Amino acid sequence: MKIERVSLMTVGLLFVLVAAASAQTKEAVRTTSAKKARVLVLGVFHMANPGRDMFNLQVDDVLAPRRQKELSDLAEMLKRFQPTKIALESPAGSEKIRKQYEDYLAGNYSLTRSESDQIGFRLAKELGHKQVCGIDIQGDFPFDPIAQFAKKNGKEELLNGLISQVPKEIEAMSAVLSKGTITDLLRYINQDEHVRRDHEFYMSLAQFAGNGEYPGPDLLAAWYQRNIRIYSNLRGMIDSPDDRVLVIYGG
């Protein structure tokens, strides 16, 4: 599998680990051909404001005509990658997603504000894809044990300093979106520097450990576990070295 980038963006948010994977997708392919399937990971923001994270970017209505035009323009850019498959942040094997996309193709489903719909469904239909693939696995990332450990061990100031970085980053993202386009924000969050900062934030949690307690490393391990499981699902949907997979994930 080869991780691809196009002029629009670089490798994005959740799949930092994927960059290390240069192996072929199937054993037979690995031993018989030098050609590799290509994967483009597009880190996006949650367009529907689901509020699932500790801190959440507030987004104006992507169904408004201005944003719809921007999403249409984005779809045209992504077509340059020539995806043969599209992977979404939806439960792996989801019957609901399968049915929704089939209904959308039949004209019986209206796109919601979610990025899976607005980017994934829209692009898949325009490319003539018969299906989209969910590859997501939910994880549990307990933060309270870290806060309790920090309080008990005199590390509250350190933890608060790390946490304080997040609202500042969200504010910066909000400024980009309010002054520019959806594509402008995607360029911003998919920059190498932005991806590095996101990864460093998670890695910084490893220092919240000691005296036989590992709340920080445990959360970090859970984060990597989820990533690797998602990556496994991604590999599972690739069955040809000719595959070109666009992965769309929010953060």
Residues 58 and 111 in one domain: yes
Least Cα distance to 43 among 145, 160, 169, 186 occurs for 186
Copy the structure tokens of residue 166: 């997040």
- Do 115 and 66 lie in one domain? The reply is yes
Q: Are residues 128 and 245 in the same domain?
A: yes
Alpha-carbon distances of 122 from 10, 92, 247, rounded to whole Å: 21, 20, 14
- Taking residues 62-90, what's their average pLDDT? 97
pTM above 0.75, yes or no: yes
What range defines the domain where residue 154 resides?
144-224
Q: What is the dihedral of CA 175, 181, 184, 190, to 10 degrees?
A: 90
Whether residue 103 sits in one domain with residue 8: yes
Whether 204 and 135 share a structural domain: no
Report whether 10 contacts 187 (CB < 8 A): no
51, 25: one domain: yes
Residues 70 and 24 in one domain: yes
Number of domains in the chain: 2
Strand partners, 9: 6
Query: 82 and 191 share a domain?
Result: no
* Residue pointed to by tokens 């307690």: 213
Are 105 and 176 in the same domain? Answer: no
- Phi, psi angles (nearest 5°) of residue 109: -145, 130
Which alpha helices (DSSP H) does the chain contain, by range?
Answer: 27-32, 65-78, 95-105, 115, 122-126, 144-152, 156-179, 182-189, 192-204, 215-236
Same domain, 79 and 156: no
Instruction: Flag the least confident range among 33-42, 61-70, 88-97, 213-222.
Output: 33-42
Q: Residue 249 and residue 7: Cα distance in Å, rounded?
A: 18
> Mean pLDDT, to the nearest integer, of 161-170?
91
Supply the pLDDT for residue 52: 52
Please give the Cα distance from 62 to 68 (Å, whole number). Answer: 6
Calpha distance 216→161 (Å, rounded): 15
Q: Are 83 and 195 in contact (CB under 8 A)?
A: no
pLDDT bucket at 10, cuts 50 / 70 / 90: very low
pLDDT of 57 reads 81
- Same domain membership, residue 168 and residue 69: no
pLDDT tens digits for 114-139?
Answer: 999 999 999 999 999 999 999 999 98
Residues 24 and 98 placed together within one structural domain of the fold: yes
